[in-house]
Structure 1
Amino acid sequence: MSWRYARPSRMEVSDKTTGHHLQRILHYSVAPCRPLPGSRPSECAIHGVDCDEVYPGIYIGDADSARNKVFLRIMGITHILNTAEGSRYGQVDTGHIFYRDMPNIRYMGFPMLDQPTTDISRYFYIASKFIENAISSGGKVLVHCLVGMSRSATCVLAHLMISKKMTAVEAIRTVRMRRDIRPNDGFLQQLADLDNELKREQTYSSY
């Protein structure tokens, strides 16, 4: 399956990415309206879950999509990344035990809260490796948090930057074409920091 995303114009690229810059891109990017070819959005409506395929094999969803085992089986989900693991307010209390009757599911959980002060960057490379392992093995991965807009979206954006070599702007535009996402300001700044880090690495590797 071929995949294309919109590259930013030269006017949109600065030497250093900032969280404020990503806020503007997020605000003015295309509203989600285009399902991927071959996707089955009707299944989401039938099962009452909020879930979208934002890149081939990568789904961002809410807590209901992660808890609905019938939906997971129908969609062929093989990996689940819970970016809000826990029992506190705003978290989703699932885990390995919850999916023990689904031996085909591989699970990973991060105990994060949706707060600007949360250090989500510590999970960027771990999340990306988990997602890439799912895709490279021919599987499908559901990345979720409580509502599927901030923590889960941030991890997917980081994956697209790390593994698919997208800039932060390209990643945001790619996901926003298919889902409404709203990472908090702290997460956007951490994505900006990752973007700058990856740019430096690319520059050094070119020498």
Structure 2
Amino acid sequence: MDVALNKEQIKEIIQGPGDVEWTYEMRRQCQEILPNLLLGPLQASKSLETLQSLGVTHIVCIRDAKEAFSVRPRFPDHFQYMVLDVEDSEEQNLIRLFPGAKQFIDNAIQGGGRVLVHCNGGISLSPSFVVMYAMQHYNLNWEDALHLVQNRRYCISPNGGFLSQIKEYESIYKARNAVAAFPPQARPGNVRRKREDEEDDDEKERYA
């Protein structure tokens, strides 16, 4: 469920907690980016005790296919997993994979769960998904969404290709929102069809 906020609330959310002093060690841990949505590296997914203490119920495991032997679901009896096999390269299409990941996260959170999204390092690949999620969830532009995530996990740095897709996704989700804002009968194509149908009826009456 996406959220509508006023400018002051958006500013506050983007800034994040101001009292956190980032240390190098924290890049090996996960951080809560949105309520009930955590982001981190592989390291954060390897301790059952830690995951349970954080209240995690669902895990999105994003990995390069070559990493499948190490980046994998470790506790399938305890958590519900979604595994995305991707290439950690600038050419990888993330936009195509994102809707399924968003649906998984939305369903988990709406059901009262907590989701960890992780890749190997938690620096480029998984943060790109979380930036797109934050962007659509709060109706943000791509820069604000990136800052929101960076202000909670300081070490993230999506590669150039992923950053281009994050920018591209802003126009995609905003276009979808614009279409969804029109009641079906008010959409331009439907109005035109209705007018054509009415003209056909007039024509039939004329020759009846």
Flag whether TM exceeds 0.5 (same fold).
yes
SS state at 1:128 partner = helix
Is 2:30 the counterpart of 1:5? no
Gaps of 5+ in 1: 8-28, 36-40
Q: For the residues of structure 2 that align with 1:54 and 1:152, how far apart are their CA atoms?
A: 12
Is 2:61 the counterpart of 1:82? yes
Assess, with a 3 A threshold, how the Cα gap between structure 1 residues 31 and 74 changes in structure 2: closer, same or farther. Answer: closer
Structure 1 residue aligned with 2:52: 73
Using the TM superposition, give the Cα deviation of residue 178 of structure 1 relative to its aligned residue in structure 2, in angstroms: 0.7
Gaps of 5+ in 2: 183-208
Q: For the residues of structure 2 that align with 1:203 and 1:82, how far apart are their CA atoms?
A: 31
Sequence identity, in percent? 27
Report the structure, 1 or 2, having the larger helix content: 2
Pairing 1:31-180 to 2, within 5 Å after superposition: 34=19, 49-84=28-63, 86=65, 88-89=66-67, 92-95=70-73, 98-102=74-78, 105-180=79-154
Contact 1:61 1:142 in 2 (8 A): yes
Assess, with a 3 A threshold, how the Cα gap between structure 1 residues 114 and 85 changes in structure 2: closer, same or farther. Answer: closer
SS state at 2:49 partner = helix
Moved more, 53-62 or 77-86: 77-86
TM-score, structure 2 as length reference: 0.70
Q: For the residues of structure 1 that align with 2:177 and 2:69, how far apart are their CA atoms?
A: 36
Q: For the residues of structure 2 that align with 1:99 and 1:54, how far apart are their CA atoms?
A: 23
CA-based RMSD: 3.0
Assess, with a 3 A threshold, how the Cα gap between structure 1 residues 138 and 111 changes in structure 2: closer, same or farther. Answer: same
Using the TM superposition, give the Cα deviation of residue 168 of structure 1 relative to its aligned residue in structure 2, in angstroms: 1.4
User: How many pairs align?
Assistant: 170
Contact 2:42 2:71 in 1 (8 A): no
Larger relative contact order, structure 1 or 2 (CA cutoff 8 Å, min sep 6): 1
Using the TM superposition, give the Cα deviation of residue 155 of structure 1 relative to its aligned residue in structure 2, in angstroms: 0.8
Q: For the residues of structure 2 that align with 1:206 and 1:78, how far apart are their CA atoms?
A: 33
Q: For the residues of structure 1 that align with 2:130 and 2:146, how far apart are their CA atoms?
A: 10
